Structure 1
Amino acid sequence: MKPFRQIALLTAGMLLLSAAGCGKKEDSQMQDSSSQSTWSMADPSLNLPTLNLGHTTEDMIRRAVVNPGNTARLADAMKRAQAGEKITIGTIGGSITQGTAASTTDERYANRALQWWAKAFPKAQLDFVNAGIGATDSYIGVHRVDADLLSKKPDVVIVEFSVNDTDAALNLQTYDSLVRKILQAENHPAVILLFTTQEDGTSLQDTHMQIGSAYNLPMISYKNAVLPEIEAGKFTWKDISPDNIHPNSVGHGIIGELLWSYFNSVYAKLDQIDTSDLTFTATPVTKDLYAKGQLLDSKTLTPKTMQGFEQAEVSNQFPNDWTTKEGGELTFEVTGSNIGVLYYKTVDGKSGQYCVYVDDRLIQVLDGDFTGGWGNYAQAQQVYTSDTPSTHTVTIKQLEGTDLTQFTVLGLLVS
């Protein structure tokens, strides 16, 4: 598979900103695509966990399993759970993973997944980490996954970013590095890719499938399950979502049933799955530019200079920030190949525009104003990219001639 090339800083874009003023045993080798096969549901006569919400049909479930993938790591986790060991189930994604629009915590798809493990392995010691944060994509995700998820050493991870990812070229690379980070964790977690969708079918599923196919990962598509049913008049989008994106409890229940069915298909043939080799050595699909991605905030990064800003905790999701209400300037010195700014967009009509300079070159004007929007959220903007790491000076200061002075820098995304 040919890797996409990362787009470097655009000279034209900088000029515009300046002008603006600112069966048989499976092979357990993780990347072996030859083990991709036709998927079949577990024998219903077996005594397996059932969710019984009544939201899915066999056709929906079969369509949803884009690739059953290599199940060695998942089977290994199940065998350890069966033996009563401690198992941690993890999820990472955006607001859907966070559970927006689900009526209760237990009705979120992430919790539905956990419930299968509790039902299947009552003697196991189960831990759970939900690293879903609304309005975040895999670009932010690859920089926060170590702290928010991998530090908890999950044994099974469900990754959901197909709605929040919108830039196919950039997100192919960030998603690749994110998935690889998880697969390369020392405790060999199983990875399941979950694809969601907007009402009109907008989703980066096809882009994410390139990564899943290259590494032969299990891929489950909510999009494939529900959209043909809606087109056939079986139910409407409003039956499963209160808006154009977020599943309600019924939608989350559909995802839950898809996951339970997939888990059961692995559990049913657990004794036949070879778990002796859980290594992952596949060549990256892309250049793996974000392999060393990290989020640097006020706890881990000291500004070179700081005028008007102060350390604060404005955002619950990204609390260690720098904020100003009266304007000011921040300067950082960081080393990396890729640099981004994570900042806060607010609906209060007080957040203004701030310029970002890299090595004294105006790169981007960030607008913190989201007046009339659905709520405050963290926005990321990549401001520098290169194939080789080096040290750079990043300056963030108010755009001249603007009246709105409030602004919050949540952190720098450096890889």
Structure 2
Amino acid sequence: MNDQTMAAGASREGPAAPKDPIAKRSGFYIMYEAKIEGVTRPWGVHSQEIYLEGRLVDQARYTGGVTDESVLELLKSTEGFRRLVHSIGVSVRPDKAGTPSIAFTMQHYAKTDRFQAGTCLTASCPGDGSETLLLLEDFTWSADDDVPGKLVFEFEEPGETASASVVFYLNDGYEVPEVEVEPPVAYGSAAYNEVIAKSFLNLGNTRRLKAAIEKAKSGEEVTLAYIGGSITQGAGAVPVHNQSYVYKSYEQFKQRFGAADGARVRLIKAGLGGTPSELGLVRYERDVLREGDVEPDVVVIEFAVNDAGDETQGVCYESLVLKALDGAKQPAVILLFSVFVNDWNLQERLAPIGWHYDLPMVSVKEAVVEQFRLSKQQGNVISKKQFFYDIYHPANAGHQVMADCLGLLFEKADQAVLSPEDICLDQPPLLGDEYRDIRLLDRRNGEEPARISAGGFGESDSDLQLAPLDGETFATPQFPYNWMHTDASGDESFRMELGCKRLILVFKDSGSCQFGKALVRVDGQAVLTADPHVNNWTHCNAVILLNEAETREHLIEITMASGDEDKQFTILGFGVVQ
């Protein structure tokens, strides 16, 4: 046997001189056993994206247990991050055996070309759950780096799922407490059921909900519709199409009440991330009623953590509730109050509307927040780290809790006495109902009620906010019938003449430096400078342009703001009350 053969044989037994172990460093998780999924993106990859900008501090606080404010402060910028963090440990455990490696990237956003010029820390993580270590000193950093932007896990095949953990190991001189691993949530236990019971805020008038339940039992067609923000969209649930609270509560309804395995129980899911009831109103007929093709029997409304952006402070929410209650089948309307990781929601503003009309109401906040403050020994059933995927969205466990809260309401309605009379809608609104008759006007239908000259906004934008509808595994572009100004469109204004008394503009937010501001005039008066960078990510932004008591003719003009004439801007549509 020659030396080369001996060396080859030795290598099969293990290294002749193992490396010294790396000294253990203090560190904290920003993801711990979080579910991820390869969602197909418009650019052809299959990935899970976790956004860090504006969220990383809370991720460290709630997932990692970090309480030291000086450490948290360093996470707000790339400069501070590099001072604090020595290395990043990433482990991915695929749900499917034999899954090859998963590509990991931590992207930092830049000061100039925000999404293109920042440093990207990349590695290939083996699909066996072992940890891959990324040393920050091994990467070339850009002087243009601004803030930690996002994490990306890229799969080879669409729909693949895994559990992922990401830990930041700290440089010498920084220490944080070690976080203990928690026991799994005891679903169905007596303690768990006590938590769920606290979500039951109001049974309300039972007539409509019991009617839907009886229809399902008798084998008639029943439609459950859900409208809300990103939580209703399914954010944080993996895979999103069947692990969201929407799908799980729909399945519970089918299994509990549906004849013939619930074959005639239909799901409509109309969640859209980052949007309030102000936009929910504009898209209700399109996304819930499907332009008249759908007449729901039950409508769940979830905007309790999105309506901070409602300019009307609840009038749009009440208008949406009444719009749903006015449905052809007299649907049951359920108000669902979700919660953020900081224990916040708008229940105090919105629940009085439910009391006013005696509607069924479910509060996730009432269920979980009190026990969040307890230790396991004191009676904690589910921790914030278990409930939340990030600071805004539930993880699979949180979505399960939300579904079980709705399931309890369904069960109590089934057992309750039938209310002798229907809900009374012939009464003054609590806050207002001025927007209940709003409808969407876009490039597809705008020429019917309005006279429109697109001017320099004659192009169509296809890079739009995406949302998975119903039980679909793919995402649908939102507001595709739009008007877009490009960098080569010229300076001619968009002009629209129509008779109305209330008008909402829906425009596209974007993080791209190619997008600029637009000036909006109504009847010659400047009313708004629409800035697509306030939110700084691709999503739909609704703003009120006009709110008057009587209908009259108006001229709306939109031009690029001074200095932004060579940039892009997209008018997604309008909400009109005539």
Query: After TM superposition, is the score higher than 0.5?
Result: yes
Corresponding residue SS for 1:304: strand
Letter in structure 1 aligned against 2:418: I
C-alpha distance after superposition, 1:326-384 (max 9, x if no partner): 2542111122222121000112221100000000000110112368x4x4101111122
How far apart are the structure 2 equivalents of 1:63 and 1:273?
Answer: 23
Higher mean displacement: 216-225 or 119-128: 119-128
Higher mean displacement: 327-336 or 248-257: 327-336
Contact 2:456 / 2:485 at 8 angstroms: preserved in 1?
Answer: yes
Corresponding residue SS for 1:200: coil
Following TM superposition, by how much is the alpha carbon of 1:58 offset from its aligned partner in structure 2, in angstroms? 3.2
Look up the match of 2:391: 244
Unmatched segments (≥5 aa) in structure 1: 1-51
Following TM superposition, by how much is the alpha carbon of 1:275 offset from its aligned partner in structure 2, in angstroms? 6.5
Corresponding residue SS for 1:119: helix
Contact 2:203 / 2:413 at 8 angstroms: preserved in 1?
Answer: no
How far apart are the structure 2 equivalents of 1:168 and 1:318?
Answer: 20
Look up the match of 2:548: 386
Look up the match of 2:324: 182
Contact 1:212 / 1:218 at 8 angstroms: preserved in 2?
Answer: yes
Residue 286 of structure 2 is aligned to residue 122 of structure 1? no
C-alpha distance after superposition, 1:7-29 (max 9, x if no partner): xxxxxxxxxxxxxxxxxxxxxxx
Corresponding residue SS for 2:355: helix
Residue 437 of structure 2 is aligned to residue 292 of structure 1? yes
How far apart are the structure 1 equivalents of 2:284 and 2:554?
Answer: 24
Matches within 5 A, 1:110-259: 110-120=246-256, 121-123=258-260, 124=262, 125-150=264-289, 151=292, 152-167=294-309, 170-233=312-375, 234=380, 235-259=382-406
Contact 1:358 / 1:393 at 8 angstroms: preserved in 2?
Answer: yes
Matches within 5 A, 1:272-287: 272-274=417-419, 277=422, 280-287=425-432
Corresponding residue SS for 2:196: helix
Cα gap change, 1:390 to 1:249, in 2 (>3 Å)? same
Letter in structure 1 aligned against 2:250: L
Following TM superposition, by how much is the alpha carbon of 1:188 offset from its aligned partner in structure 2, in angstroms? 0.5
How far apart are the structure 2 equivalents of 1:351 and 1:76?
Answer: 50
Matches within 5 A, 1:260-409: 260-269=407-416, 272-274=417-419, 277=422, 280-302=425-447, 304-314=452-462, 315=464, 316-326=477-487, 327=489, 328=491, 329-369=493-533, 373=536, 375-402=537-564, 405-409=567-571
Number of residue pairs aligned between Structure 1 and Structure 2: 360
Letter in structure 1 aligned against 2:334: I
How far apart are the structure 2 equivalents of 1:88 and 1:278?
Answer: 20
Corresponding residue SS for 2:308: coil
Following TM superposition, by how much is the alpha carbon of 1:413 offset from its aligned partner in structure 2, in angstroms? 1.6
How far apart are the structure 2 equivalents of 1:170 and 1:309?
Answer: 29
Give the 4+ runs in structure 1 shifted more than 6 A: none
Letter in structure 1 aligned against 2:280: G
How far apart are the structure 1 equivalents of 2:224 and 2:243?
Answer: 16
Look up the match of 1:3: none
Contact 2:521 / 2:558 at 8 angstroms: preserved in 1?
Answer: yes
Matches within 5 A, 1:22-41: none
CA-based RMSD: 2.1
Unmatched segments (≥5 aa) in structure 2: 1-185, 465-476
Corresponding residue SS for 1:386: strand
C-alpha distance after superposition, 1:111-158 (max 9, x if no partner): 111101221223241111101111111011112212221331010110
How far apart are the structure 2 equivalents of 1:140 and 1:128?
Answer: 21
How far apart are the structure 1 equivalents of 2:204 and 2:413?
Answer: 11
How far apart are the structure 2 equivalents of 1:169 and 1:209?
Answer: 18
Structure (1 or 2) with the greater helix fraction = 1
Letter in structure 2 aligned against 1:160: E
Contact 1:311 / 1:320 at 8 angstroms: preserved in 2?
Answer: no
Residue 100 of structure 2 is aligned to residue 100 of structure 1? no
- Considering only CA atoms, is the larger Rg found in Structure 1 or Structure 2? 2
How far apart are the structure 2 equivalents of 1:279 and 1:81?
Answer: 25
TM-score of the superposed pair, with normalisation by structure 1: 0.82
Following TM superposition, by how much is the alpha carbon of 1:168 offset from its aligned partner in structure 2, in angstroms? 6.7
Following TM superposition, by how much is the alpha carbon of 1:64 offset from its aligned partner in structure 2, in angstroms? 1.0
